[in-house]
Each structure stands twice: as structure tokens, then as C-alpha cells.
């Protein structure tokens, strides 16, 4: 059969990314333009600033993606784009670019759910085996998802409040770390001691849901209290204790999900999948029982290759969208 080349766009948050993916599993190019520097001084992503950056970057990224893949528009089978969840202004830029290509080159348009993309980043490493369990951990999401067949998702557990990456970023901010703070907290967690006992919310509860606002508040209260009594805390110890507690919650709930939903594979996806503490514990405690897929760091964060990977599933199912496809900021499975 002829190879299926898909041009994919991702612009849901603060990375502008364009990729060319072959048969849903081979990355021919994956250009990622990050805007983090422009948002850092605000301590988080500013939607208006993000949209403007996407406008400035997207055409250049598209040219680069095609050039690097050594592909012309005529070689493409379809064009894919993230249509949610995410920031509406940011999503619209990717959508407009994808629609323009679709219309001008008469290519089918495929709208992709950003979370499905994060999960299908695994398919760029090794073919997904069904049923699979996915732990999706990012700045906006913390979910346990069952993937029973290609493109068939069921949410088994969700966060009741903050996403895990958001908790890393907020705690980091209190510790004086630049946004996004996950990577630095992760580094500090290797240098400090686990001396604090923060509450591990919902660990005992017999469900698959998460809550991270309690632990975040506990860290903040501990820091405030120390400040009031003039004590200086070791930031690295705080980071270590926080990360260990968060990882404990994630690993416990994942094990519980695997016990209740027999799976062929565990996929760990999203930006927080880069966390080394999480990787180590899953490797040690879950890998012996079941195949675990951790996409490489470049495919864990937001990128268009993962969007192209999932778009291939929809391409095979002939699930195409019209040019009326709109952004859906709160899109769910």
C-alpha cells in the first residue's frame, strides 16, 4: 500500500508545531517553536501573546516541516490539526493554517483532540496494543484513560481540581522558579531530602480520581509559616517531598486502574511524563508486570508529530472534517 503522509499542526497552547508523519508511526519532521521566554515574565501563558506568536511562526514552521521531511504538498494524503482542548485564540491559528492547506491543495482535513494526540505519541515509539491504559499528565490534564481500540477512549479517572503540571508550576512559582517549573523541581528533587509530609489527597479513596490543590496549598502554607517565624527552608527538600508525594499519588492510582482494567500496555503521556521520579517508580514497580511506553521527552511536550500519529487512525476510519471545523477550547473525549 502507498505510504500515508500527513501534515499536522499543533497550536493549542504556547508551542507552534508543524510535523510530517508517515503511516501514523514515523516522524519525518517535527518543528517546534516555543514561546516560553515571552510568557516567563508573566509567570504563565498569556493567551493574547500566545496567539500573536502563533501567527508569526506558523508559516515558517510549515515550510521547515515540509523541507526537512523532503515532502511536497502533492505527496500528502491529509492535513491534521488540533481543534481542542486549549486556548481558543491559539487553536484558531492552527485551524486557519490547516484549512488553508486543505482548501488550496484539496486535501482531507482531520481535526484531532489534543489529548488523543498526547496518547498516540506512544505509537511513534512502538505500536499501541489494545486495550491500553494511558496516564495523561500535563499542564492542563491529569487523566487515566482506557484505549480499548484505535481511537476508542474512556476516561476512568480525572482531577477534581488542579492538573498535576499546574501544581508543579504553582509550587515552583512559590519557590522562585521560572515558568514552567516542572523541570527544575524535578532536578531539585534529586538533590534534596524528603523531610516534609504533605497530605496525599484521595490516596485512600477507592476511585481513580486525583486532587492536587490540597498538596499545593500545604506546600504554600509551609512556606508562609516558615517566612513568618523567620525560618529559611531548604527549597530542595520542599521540592523533593512535594515530588515524592505527587509521584506516589500518580503511581498508586495507575496501579489501581491496571488492577481493575487489564491492559496490554501502559502509556505515560503529556509534559509531566518527562518527570524522572515518575519514570523511575513506574519502571521499578509497573514495568515488571506490563509493557510501559514512555515517549521520548521531545514527544512528551506539546508537538505536532503526536497529532499526525492520531490523525492516521482517523484517516483509516475515513473520519474527515469539513472546512466548518471550529475550535473547541473545552473538548473532551
In the complex, least distance from residue 159 CB atom to Zn ion, rounded to whole angstroms: 14
Q: Report which of 147, 117, 111, 152 is spatially closest to residue 270, judged by C-alpha positions.
A: 117
Residue 169 contacts which entry, ligand KG4, Zn ion, none (Cβ below 5-8 A, type-dependent): ligand KG4
Q: Which of 143, 162, 245, 302 binds ligand KG4 (CB under 6 A)?
A: 302
Does residue 169 bind Zn ion (CB under 5 A)?
no
Count of other CB atoms within 10 angstroms of residue 333: 14
166 binds Zn ion (CB under 5 A): no
Q: Is the dihedral of CA 89, 105, 323, 148 positive or negative?
A: negative
Other C-beta atoms closer than 10 Å to the C-beta of 64 total 15
Instruction: Please identify, using beta-carbon distances, which residue of 186 and 302 lies nearer to Zn ion.
Output: 302
Q: For residue 5, how far is the Cα from the chain centroid?
A: 23
Each residue 209-248 as x (binds Zn ion by CB under 5 A) or -, in order, gives: ----------------------------------------
Q: What's the length of the chain? A: 333
Interface pattern 136-175 for ligand KG4 (x via CB under 6 A): --xxx------------------------x--xx------
Contact status: 138 vs Zn ion (CB under 5 A): yes
- CB distance 310 to 295 below 8 Å: no
Which of these ranges, 29-37, 66-74, 178-186, 309-317, lies near ligand KG4 under the rule CB under 6 A?
178-186
Phi and psi at residue 179, to the nearest 5°:
-75, 140
Handedness of CA 284, 306, 185, 195 (dihedral sign): negative
Residues found near ligand KG4 in the complex (CB under 6 A): 13, 138-140, 165, 168-169, 180-183, 186, 270-272, 274-275, 301-302
Amino acid at each position: 500500500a502507498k505510504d500515508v503522509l500527513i501534515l499536522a499542526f499543533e497550536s493549542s497552547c504556547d508551542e507552534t508545531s508543524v510535523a510530517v508523519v508517515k503511516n501514523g508511526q514515523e516522524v519525518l519532521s517535527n518543528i517546534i517553536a516555543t514561546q516560553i521566554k515571552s510568557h516567563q515574565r508573566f509567570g504563565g501563558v498569556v493567551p493574547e501573546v500566545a496567539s500573536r506568536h502563533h501567527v508569526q511562526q506558523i508559516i515558517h514552521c510549515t515550510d521547515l516541516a515540509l523541507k526537512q521531511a523532503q515532502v511536497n504538498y502533492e505527496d500528502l494524503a491529509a492535513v491534521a490539526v488540533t481543534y481542542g482542548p486549549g486556548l481558543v485564540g491559539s487553536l484558531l491559528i492552527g485551524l486557519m493554517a490547516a484549512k488553508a492547506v486543505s482548501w488550496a491543495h484539496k486535501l482531507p482535513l482531520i481535526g484531532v483532540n489534543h489529548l488523543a494526540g498526547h496518547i498516540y505519541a506512544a505509537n511513534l515509539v512502538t505500536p499501541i496494543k489494545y486495550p491500553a491504559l494511558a496516564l495523561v499528565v500535563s499542564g492542563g490534564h491529569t487523566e487515566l484513560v482506557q484505549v480499548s481500540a484505535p481511537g476508542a477512549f474512556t476516561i476512568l479517572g480525572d482531577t477534581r481540581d488542579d492538573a498535576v503540571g499546574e501544581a508543579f508550576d504553582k509550587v515552583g512559582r512559590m519557590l522562585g522558579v521560572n515558568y514552567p517549573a516542572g523541570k527544575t523541581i524535578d532536578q531539585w528533587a534529586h538533590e534534596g531530602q524528603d523531610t516534609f509530609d504533605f497530605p496525599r489527597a484521595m490516596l485512600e479513596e477507592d476511585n481513580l480520581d486525583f486532587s492536587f490543590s490540597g498538596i499545593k496549598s500545604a506546600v504554600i502554607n509551609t512556606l508562609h509559616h516558615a517566612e513568618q517565624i523567620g525560618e529559611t527552608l531548604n527549597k530542595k527538600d520542599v521540592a523533593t517531598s512535594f515530588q515524592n508525594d505527587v509521584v506516589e499519588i500518580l503511581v498508586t492510582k495507575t496501579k489501581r486502574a491496571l488492577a481493575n482494567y487489564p491492559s496490554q500496555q501502559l502509556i505515560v503521556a503529556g509534559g509531566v511524563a518527562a518527570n524522572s521520579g515518575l519514570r523511575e517508580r513506574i519502571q521499578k514497580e509497573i514495568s515488571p508486570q506490563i509493557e510501559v511506553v514512555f515517549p521520548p521527552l521531545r514527544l512528551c511536550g506539546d508537538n505536532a508529530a503526536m497529532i499526525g500519529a492520531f490523525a492516521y487512525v482517523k484517516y483509516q476510519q475515513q473520519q474527515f472534517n469539513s472546512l466548518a471545523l471550529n475550535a473547541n477550547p473545552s473538548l473532551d473525549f
